[in-house]
């Protein structure tokens, strides 16, 4: 009887509390997406300044 109760408990938990096997992968994907958004926003903000500096360096090197 104890074994039957244990098996029923396992089945109940499996049906109503899903296993968290893919949770780590989803967390890493969200973290990677957040990092990508931050990098793109930083580059969009300082991109024109970098372009200006690089243009001056190239112009100075060519003259």
What pLDDT digit, counting tens, does each position of 20-30 carry?
767 778 889 99
Go through 10-49 and write b for each residue having 16 or more CB atoms within 10 A of its CB, e for each that does not.
eeeeeeeeeeeeeeeeeeeeeeeeeeeeeeeeeeeeeeee
- Give the tens place of pLDDT for each residue, 3-61: 888 888 888 777 777 767 677 788 899 999 999 999 999 999 999 999 999 999 999 88
Q: Which residue has the tokens 């001056």?
A: 56
What whole-number distance in Å separates Cα of residue 9 and Cα of residue 2? 11
Residue 16 lies inside a defined structural domain of this protein: no
Q: Can you give the pLDDT at residue 14?
A: 77
Report pLDDT for 5. 82
Number of domains in the chain: 1
CA 41 to chain centroid: 15
Q: What is the pLDDT of residue 1?
A: 61
Residue 13 included in any domain: no
Residues in the chain: 63
Decide if 52 is inside a domain: yes
Local structure of residue 18 (DSSP, 8 states)? -
């Amino acid at each position: 009887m104890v074994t039957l109760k244990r098996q029923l408990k396992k089945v109940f938990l499996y049906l109503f509390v899903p296993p968290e096997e893919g949770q780590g992968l989803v967390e890493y994907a969200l973290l990677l997406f957040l990092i990508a958004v931050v990098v793109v926003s930083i580059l969009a903000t300082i991109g024109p300044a970098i372009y200006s500096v690089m243009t001056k360096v190239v112009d100075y090197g060519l003259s």
